[in-house]
Amino acid sequence: MQENNETPEQKRERVRQQEFKGNPTGNLNDAFNRANTGSLVDLVGSLGWKGTGILIFVIIIGVIIASIFLK
């Protein structure tokens, strides 16, 4: 009954979530490709909390390394 009341946007989101559960590496690839044309919200939303944590960690390490070499 719920599927009958779904808007097209809700249906697309539900199908996207099902696909991400079945293919986690595709999820990461989609997240980075979406970052090229989308917003930061799209990137973080598609990466999940683990991917977002890794992304933040990599950015912090990059800043630290850059500050060491640019002194």
- The tally of domains found in the chain comes to 1
Comparing CA positions, the residue from 38, 59, 57, 39 lying closest to residue 49 is: 57
Q: How many CB atoms lie within 10 A of CB 47?
A: 20
The C-alpha atoms of residue 68 and residue 71 are separated, in whole angstroms, by: 6
The residue segments making up the domain with residue 14 are 3-69
Q: What is the pLDDT of residues 47-66, one digit of tens each?
A: 777 888 888 899 999 999 99
Q: Say if CB 30 and CB 44 are below 8 A apart.
A: no
What is the pTM (predicted TM-score) of this model? 0.42
What band does 71 get if pLDDT is binned at 50, 70 and 90? confident
